[in-house]
Structure 1
Amino acid sequence: MKRSDRIYILLLFLATVLSGCKDFLDQPVQGQQVLSNYFANEEECLRALTGCYASLSPQDWWENDFFYLVGDICSDDAFKGNSIEGDQRDFGDLARFLITPQNEWIEIKWRYTYEQIYRTNLVIENVPEAPISEELKAQIVAEAKFLRAFGYFELVRNWGGAPLILEPLTANAPKQSRASASELWAQIETDLQEAIDFLPEKSAQSASELGRATKGAAQAYLAKAYVYQEKWAEAETLASQIIASGEYNLNDPFSRVWSVDNPNGNGSIFEIQQKYDDLFDAGSALPVITRSRADGGWGFCTPSSHLDNFMGDDPRRDLTIIKQGDYVDEAHPQYDTQLNENESGRTNRKYYLELADRPTQQEHLRSPLNHILFRYADLLLLHAEAAWHIGNEAAALTSVNAVRNRVGLDPVSSTGQDLLLDIYHERRMELAMEGHRYYDLKRQRGITQPGFPRLKEVMEDFVDYNLNRSTDPYDKGNAKGALFDVNVHTLFPVPQVEIDLSEGALTQNPGY
């Protein structure tokens, strides 16, 4: 399948596209000097920027892509899956909340995020002095600030406070201590606000530029940052501006949102660009990570019966979950979810690729499916939530019903707390198995236990469901969530290896 050359994330990226600058773009966060003769022309500046995008899905694909599933497995939406003894034990420990500072996935996420921040800092520091046009300088720096904000967004929602590094560090730099979460949020806001004015709208991008940061993407992440901080008025105002811009819509049917034939669709605000390359086995790993082992996949991150039953007869259920025996395509008229090697007889359909769209060589496991990180339906539901909190229920209803209308559902007309519950309900339905659930639940306040994050009451109900109420033959009796501690597990531990390297400058999160 041919597509125009965008900023594809290739396995060969640092070896070829960045030949000539790999000496510093492929380096760890600390201890490197910027090459004095780099950033000498437009091509080198753009290559350095592309290196920042590459960190979203880097060379070690099987490592970084796994963490995009944490928002599902650390919630009531999914299990670790793949119950083969010992296979990715640390990934399973995340799902069970048996988390230690030595967990390899925690270490990987921390390391890759700071690698991305290091690269963005190089661009932000050096491009302003490059001999290129002022207009191009401004856009490159704006894109780098957007990506730096994205990196700190990932850090603050996973760890809370973390080192705030705004310049490339050298080997003799002081050991870095943790800035507070509020300081990270302030920097995220600053970077995004400074980026917005110098980024193009999506509609102004050429085909070769699709996938690069846009004004709408920066505004959307800023709105989400406001939501996380409960700055409801600011979030509602900014989300309303994005809606009014007309840059995004829900015209694509739900069935095409995750289609490999619909990259950067009209509802996509920001997504990681992927291109399969059979020589270097480059592309997305998510389809093979989540596909059934009977279908050549690894069987991880399997939807729960709790999610399945919650979705009921909603038309999005069959476009989100594949169940044992389901018709999927001509090659799979009765899908086999490999029940004996999974915690659930279900598979995530959103990352599923039909046989014709998969690599022709069986030993190649990557795919060309882009990974959508932020879409318009998410923005509409954030707007609905923010509007509710400032007392504008009419605006909240308009946004939540726009999402429901796309899939042919009747509008809701609830008020008060029932409307907030309808918004929460719609977020789970619309965004299921896209990595949002855990992060939504820990930022939302509880309904039955308002003094705690909503994650507490949800995980308690999930444990009770699996142990006492479920009749599902696959996950009945699974005690996942029983170890959840609201005083510990709304944040992950700082990797012990990083604390050791910092010689104690980094402190650990409570409970670890």
Structure 2
Amino acid sequence: MMIRNIRIFIVLSILAVFGASCNDFLDQPILGKQVLENYFANEDECLKALSGCYASLSPEDWWENDLFYLVGDICSDDAFKGNSLEGDQRDFGELARFNITPQNEWIQYKWQYAYEQVYRCNLVIKNVPDAPVSDTFKAQVLAEAKFLRAFAYFELVKNFGDVPLLLEPLTVNDPKQERVAAALIWGQIEKDLKEAADVLPERSEQTASAIGRATKGAALAYLAKAYVYQEKWSDAEPLAKQIIDTGEYNLNDPFTNVWSIHNPNGNGSIFEIQTVFDNVLDAGTVLPVFTRSRADGGWGFATPSSHLDNFMAGDPRRNATIIKHGDYVDEDYPSYDTQLSENETGRINRKYWIAWNDRPAQSEHTRTPLNHILFRYADLLLLHAEAAWHNDHEGEAIASVNKVRQRVGLSGISSTGEQLLLDIYHERRMELALEGHRYYDLKRQKGLKYPNSPRLREVMEEFVDYNLGANSDYDAGNAKGQLFDEDVHVLFPIPQAEIDLSEGTLKQNSGY
């Protein structure tokens, strides 16, 4: 497993560097120092360095990156901070409320670990070309590193906008970095993904041991999504259709099995973080523990809103998405306890929930072997539908939406015009709920009520009105969203610590 390998590698590297006796440590010569000049000497070392790039997707401990994948839910109308203990992860709650400052620790972590991934990828991209390995092997490793660098920059630009563009491993002697225009970041993302796609194999061409690593389909899918984020509709639609036509992915897995711990890398999986249970290594995911009820041994964060629950009422996907207080889950949980006294909404995320018999007996929060799906085929189909609508290809848009609906036994839609676009938006919310997409979708989409504003504005206004008015559920009266400002909160602030380290070279986003 890629993540497991890098953690073993890190431990061995530490032992090598500190291999001298503890006695008179400072007086001993360094016997096993590992330096870049003598690394990348064979295929194994190249693969270990590449494993480090993959490991940055979900580093060893829960707070390094895993938590931030939930921000796309809590900064929208789909979820709240969840855990109602005010002092427990306060900054996470401030993100959910849009009471966001440059000192927020989760903003700092996102920036820090995204650039860690960029740095690791740059090391591979710089050093592997000179490694004494075959050209075929080099091309494969470089393609994967470029894909992962593009992923890191995708995360940075969609959260912060203009950011420094680093294409070489940064050293302490390099000048302080300035932010560059988001358009340049997108351009590099496109370049990396195109170059990766030219080399990477299709999913069906991978060997069993390579499953989970980047593929041609993953690179092209992220490229299509990058086009959508930039409103390059004429590029996005045919590229998404190209991926669809390969037949590499399908919706044959029942919706209830998409997130099953027993269905890793399912038929509709385009790219997902690989996890594994290990008695020693922390190579799993925190998401099931982080989102589970505190009465069920979890931490109770990112709880679904009643607004989302009501929206999903009557849809076959609701029960595979949300567990509400008192719901039947299985024989071990015939009436689920969300611990209402410490839960803002009386609900938890069903997609990350793991049955009792599938939970690790120890260190569950870092060893649960549930893969984290970052991009799936239904997402691609709905991006294709959205791009097709903007290109006045309503028939193609309807066909892609209906594929998603038919998987769960729903009749097809046949709307037109603005209603069709709204139906596409609604289908994205229904299908991808609580998978971290909602906030990012809403801020890139144009509003229907306010056409010159991000759609996030009208959605948060309606959400506040609902919570302070019509809502009579567990989360009634919560003013979440009241602080939202469209001139500020479509981007997060640059971490103040990074501005301080740059001695003012990095400039802050507007409004912070």
SS at match of 1:179: coil
Tell me whether 1:92 sits opposite 2:93 in the alignment: yes
> What is the CA–CA distance in structure 1 between the aligned matches of 2:253 and 2:381, rounded to whole Å?
15
CA 10–35 in structure 1, closer or farther in 2 if over 3 Å, else same: closer
TM-score calculated relative to the size of structure 2: 0.95
User: What are the equivalent positions in structure 2 for 1:4-83 lying under 5 Å apart?
Assistant: 6-9=1-4, 12-16=7-11, 35-83=36-84
Contact 2:290 2:365 in 1 (8 A): no
- Opposite residue 499 of structure 2, the aligned amino acid is I
User: What are the equivalent positions in structure 2 for 1:461-500 lying under 5 Å apart?
Assistant: 461-472=462-473, 474-500=474-500
1:57-91 C-alpha deviation (Å, 9 max, x unpaired) = 11222331110000000000000011113000000
Contact 1:272 1:370 in 2 (8 A): yes
Contact 1:17 1:47 in 2 (8 A): no
> How far off is 1:170 after superposition?
1.4
User: What are the equivalent positions in structure 2 for 1:351-370 lying under 5 Å apart?
Assistant: 351-361=352-362, 366-370=367-371
> What is the CA–CA distance in structure 2 between the aligned matches of 1:384 and 1:363, rounded to whole Å?
39
- Equivalent residue, structure 2, for 1:279: 280
SS at match of 1:420: helix
> How far off is 1:360 after superposition?
1.6
- Opposite residue 165 of structure 2, the aligned amino acid is L
- Equivalent residue, structure 2, for 1:288: 289
- Opposite residue 296 of structure 2, the aligned amino acid is D
- Opposite residue 496 of structure 1, the aligned amino acid is Q
CA 281–43 in structure 1, closer or farther in 2 if over 3 Å, else same: closer
SS at match of 1:140: helix
> 5+ unaligned residues in a row in structure 2: which ranges?
19-33
CA 486–13 in structure 1, closer or farther in 2 if over 3 Å, else same: farther
Tell me whether 1:214 sits opposite 2:209 in the alignment: no
1:241-289 C-alpha deviation (Å, 9 max, x unpaired) = 0000000000000011000111001100000001122323431000000
Contact 2:295 2:337 in 1 (8 A): yes
- Opposite residue 293 of structure 1, the aligned amino acid is R
- Equivalent residue, structure 2, for 1:165: 166
Contact 2:221 2:240 in 1 (8 A): yes
- Equivalent residue, structure 1, for 2:311: 310
1:436-482 C-alpha deviation (Å, 9 max, x unpaired) = 0000000000011101000000000000000011121x110000000
CA 128–456 in structure 1, closer or farther in 2 if over 3 Å, else same: same
Contact 2:317 2:408 in 1 (8 A): yes
CA 22–409 in structure 1, closer or farther in 2 if over 3 Å, else same: farther
> 5+ unaligned residues in a row in structure 1: which ranges?
1-5, 24-32
SS at match of 1:81: coil
- Opposite residue 431 of structure 2, the aligned amino acid is E
RMSD of aligned alpha carbons:
1.6
> How far off is 1:312 after superposition?
1.1
CA 357–393 in structure 1, closer or farther in 2 if over 3 Å, else same: same
SS at match of 2:302: strand
CA 373–317 in structure 1, closer or farther in 2 if over 3 Å, else same: same
Contact 2:3 2:51 in 1 (8 A): no
Contact 1:303 1:348 in 2 (8 A): yes
1:125-160 C-alpha deviation (Å, 9 max, x unpaired) = 110111111111011000000000000000000000
- Opposite residue 485 of structure 1, the aligned amino acid is D
1:10-69 C-alpha deviation (Å, 9 max, x unpaired) = 79444347678999xxxxxxxxx9610011111111111011000001122233111000
> How far off is 1:307 after superposition?
0.2
- Equivalent residue, structure 1, for 2:412: 411
> What is the CA–CA distance in structure 2 between the aligned matches of 1:339 and 1:260, rounded to whole Å?
27
> What is the CA–CA distance in structure 2 between the aligned matches of 1:387 and 1:362, rounded to whole Å?
46
CA 210–21 in structure 1, closer or farther in 2 if over 3 Å, else same: farther
> What is the CA–CA distance in structure 2 between the aligned matches of 1:268 and 1:362, rounded to whole Å?
27
Deviating more after overlay: 62-71 vs 310-319: 62-71
- Equivalent residue, structure 1, for 2:115: 114
User: What are the equivalent positions in structure 2 for 1:143-222 lying under 5 Å apart?
Assistant: 143-222=144-223
SS at match of 1:57: coil
Contact 1:114 1:151 in 2 (8 A): yes
SS at match of 1:269: strand
- Equivalent residue, structure 1, for 2:439: 438
- Equivalent residue, structure 2, for 1:244: 245
> How far off is 1:184 after superposition?
0.3
SS at match of 2:476: coil
- Opposite residue 301 of structure 1, the aligned amino acid is A
Deviating more after overlay: 81-90 vs 54-63: 54-63
SS at match of 1:90: helix
CA 12–190 in structure 1, closer or farther in 2 if over 3 Å, else same: closer
- Equivalent residue, structure 2, for 1:29: none
> What is the CA–CA distance in structure 1 between the aligned matches of 2:264 and 2:228, rounded to whole Å?
27
- Equivalent residue, structure 2, for 1:506: 506
> What is the CA–CA distance in structure 1 between the aligned matches of 2:477 and 2:405, rounded to whole Å?
34
- Equivalent residue, structure 1, for 2:133: 132
User: What are the equivalent positions in structure 2 for 1:302-341 lying under 5 Å apart?
Assistant: 302-341=303-342
CA 281–421 in structure 1, closer or farther in 2 if over 3 Å, else same: same
> What is the CA–CA distance in structure 2 between the aligned matches of 1:454 and 1:372, rounded to whole Å?
25
Aligned residues: 497
- Opposite residue 422 of structure 1, the aligned amino acid is D
- Opposite residue 366 of structure 1, the aligned amino acid is R
User: What are the equivalent positions in structure 2 for 1:377-416 lying under 5 Å apart?
Assistant: 377-416=378-417
Contact 2:306 2:345 in 1 (8 A): yes
SS at match of 1:36: helix
1:345-364 C-alpha deviation (Å, 9 max, x unpaired) = 00000000001110123776
% identity of equivalent residues: 71
> What is the CA–CA distance in structure 1 between the aligned matches of 2:406 and 2:124, rounded to whole Å?
43
- Opposite residue 319 of structure 1, the aligned amino acid is A
Contact 1:302 1:348 in 2 (8 A): yes
Contact 2:270 2:377 in 1 (8 A): yes
- Equivalent residue, structure 2, for 1:253: 254
TM-score calculated relative to the size of structure 1: 0.95
CA 492–34 in structure 1, closer or farther in 2 if over 3 Å, else same: farther
